[in-house]
C-alpha cells in the first residue's frame, strides 16, 4: 500500500512539476531533471507517518530536498565538462563549502596558514579549485547520510536528530565564513564592501535549514518527553 501511494504521488508530482516548469523554462533536460526530483519528494511525503503534523512532514521532506541538492552538487563536481551545472547547483541551491574547504586546505597542506589565506572569491570557476574532487566525495557521502537522517527524523529517531545538529552547524559555519571570505576577497581584488550574491544566498539557505531543523527538533523532544512520562 505504501509503495502504491509513493508511485501515485510521485507520478502526480512529476506531472504537475513538468507542466509548470515547461511553461516557465520550456521543455528542457533541466526541467525534466527538476520534475523527476520533485516527483520523488512528493512520493516520499505521501509515505511519511500520516499522524505527524503537516508542518513537520513538510520540514522532513525539505531536509531530504537539501540532501538531494548536495548529492547532485557533488555529482556535478565529479563529472567532466559539467562546470556550469556544478556552479549553478553548488552556488544557488546549497551553501557552498568551497571557501571553508579552501582555508582548511591552506592550513593543512600548506601549513602554516596566514590571514592572507582567508580571502576567497565565491564565484571562482570550480575547475580552478585544488582538491575539488576530494571535497565532492566528502559532500557526496554527507548528502546520502543527510537524506537518510531526514527520513528517520520523520520517525523521531534521536540519532538522526544528532546528525542533523552537526550538519546544520556545519552549514551555518560555511555560510558565515562565505560572507567573511568573500568580503575580504572583494577588499583585496574588487570594489570594497561588495559581497557577491552567492554569499547572501548562503545565509538564506542556512536560515531555512535552521527553521526546518527546529520544527523537527520540537517533534523529537516532545516525543521523548511523552515517552518519559509514560515510563514514569
Best mean pLDDT range from 23-27, 183-187, 217-221: 217-221
- For 152-167, what is each residue's pLDDT tens digit? 888 888 888 899 999 9
Cα separation, 73 vs 144, in Å, equals 12
Terminal Cα-to-Cα distance of the chain (whole angstroms): 36
Q: Nearest to residue 213, comparing CAs of 138, 136, 153? A: 153
- For 47-101, what is each residue's pLDDT tens digit? 787 778 888 888 989 999 999 989 988 888 787 666 667 777 777 888 888 777 7
All 3 cell numbers of residue 63?
Answer: 531536509
Q: Nearest to residue 151, comparing CAs of 89, 61, 86? A: 61
Cα separation, 122 vs 26, in Å, equals 30
Task: Give the DSSP H/E element, type plus range, for residue 75.
Answer: helix 54-78
Q: In this predicted structure, what is the pLDDT of residue 97?
A: 81
Residue, of 125 and 152, whose pLDDT is higher = 152
All 3 cell numbers of residue 129?
Answer: 579549485
Burial of 167 (0-12, 13-18, 19+ CB in 10 A): buried
Mean pLDDT estimate for the chain: 76
Answer whether 99's CB lies under 8 Å from 68's CB: no
Amino acid at each position: 500500500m505504501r509503495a502504491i501511494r509513493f508511485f501515485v504521488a510521485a507520478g502526480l508530482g512529476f506531472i504537475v512539476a513538468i507542466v509548470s516548469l515547461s511553461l516557465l523554462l520550456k521543455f528542457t533536460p533541466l526541467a525534466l531533471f527538476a520534475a523527476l526530483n520533485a516527483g520523488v519528494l512528493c512520493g516520499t511525503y505521501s509515505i511519511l507517518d500520516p499522524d505527524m503534523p503537516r508542518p513537520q512532514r513538510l520540514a522532513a521532506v525539505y531536509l531530504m530536498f537539501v540532501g538531494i541538492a548536495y548529492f547532485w552538487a557533488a555529482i556535478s563536481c565529479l563529472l567532466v565538462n559539467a562546470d556550469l551545472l556544478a556552479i549553478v547547483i553548488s552556488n544557488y541551491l546549497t551553501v557552498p563549502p568551497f571557501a571553508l574547504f579552501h582555508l582548511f586546505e591552506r592550513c593543512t597542506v600548506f601549513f602554516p596558514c596566514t590571514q592572507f589565506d582567508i580571502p576567497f572569491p565565491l564565484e571562482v570557476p570550480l575547475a580552478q579549485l585544488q582538491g575539488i574532487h576530494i571535497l565532492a566525495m566528502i559532500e557526496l557521502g554527507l548528502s546520502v547520510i543527510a537524506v537518510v537522517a531526514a527520513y528517520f527524523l520523520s520517525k523521531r529517531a534521536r540519532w538522526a536528530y544528532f546528525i542533523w545538529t552537526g550538519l546544520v552547524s556545519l552549514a551555518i559555519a560555511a555560510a558565515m565564513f562565505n560572507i567573511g571570505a568573500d568580503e575580504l576577497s572583494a577588499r583585496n581584488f574588487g570594489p570594497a564592501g561588495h559581497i557577491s550574491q552567492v554569499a547572501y544566498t548562503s545565509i538564506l539557505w542556512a536560515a531555512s535549514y535552521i527553521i526546518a531543523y527546529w520544527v523537527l527538533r520540537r517533534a523529537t523532544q516532545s516525543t521523548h518527553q511523552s515517552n518519559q512520562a509514560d515510563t514514569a
